[in-house]
């Protein structure tokens, strides 16, 4: 099955803040160190490549 791409409506600054919050939660032990932050990184990369 093909993956459905969802439209990204968050701005670059919002995504950076979200990524920082995830990293802080991992460091403080509130969130397990999973691949949750990778999805946000992918969204940032897609937004940056789209703007070029």
The string of pLDDT tens digits covering residues 1-52 is 445 454 556 788 888 888 888 888 888 888 777 777 788 888 888 888 876 6
Which residues are within 8 A (CB) of 47 and not within 5 positions of it... i.e. 6 or more apart? 8, 12, 15
- Radius of gyration over every alpha carbon of the chain, rounded to an integer in angstroms: 13
């Amino acid at each position: 099955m093909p993956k459905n791409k969802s439209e990204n409506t968050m701005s670059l600054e919002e995504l950076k803040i979200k990524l920082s919050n995830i990293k802080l939660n991992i460091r403080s032990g509130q969130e397990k160190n999973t691949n949750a932050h990778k999805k946000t990184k992918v969204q940032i990369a897609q937004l940056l490549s789209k703007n070029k």
